[in-house]
């Protein structure tokens, strides 16, 4: 049985800049063997492209809905994307 990977694109809305959201997401993604990236957007949101096993992505999404302790997530949107084959998870400026 082959375990397939998925690609999801997540946008996180709320107080998510200046609260350590990206680096906390990096830590959580690595913990869950998720690859991709996280970056701040000019509109005040955080964008995440994540690839991994569905079960791990589900856990990651649950974490993203809360974020680190100083974040205040108001809303999260997600879409299924096309696999890109990332080898690691990184923080983009």
Quickly tell me which residue has 């809905």 as its tokens. Answer: 65
CB atoms within 10 A of CB 78: 15
Distance CA 55, CA 46 (A): 22
- Taken in order 23, 25, 26, 30, the sign of the CA dihedral is positive
User: Measured between alpha carbons, how far is residue 67 from residues 3, 12, 47 in Å?
Assistant: 27, 9, 13
Catalytic residues: 22, 40
């Amino acid at each position: 049985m082959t375990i397939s990977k998925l690609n999801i694109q997540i946008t996180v809305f709320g107080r998510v800049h200046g609260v350590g959201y990206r680096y906390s997401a990096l830590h959580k993604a690595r913990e869950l063997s998720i690859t991709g990236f996280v970056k701040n957007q000019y509109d005040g949101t955080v964008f995440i492209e994540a690839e991994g096993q569905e079960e791990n992505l589900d856990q990651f999404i649950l974490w993203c809905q809360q974020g680190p302790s100083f974040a205040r997530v108001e809303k999260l949107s997600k879409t299924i994307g096309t696999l890109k084959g990332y080898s690691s998870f990184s923080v983009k400026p």
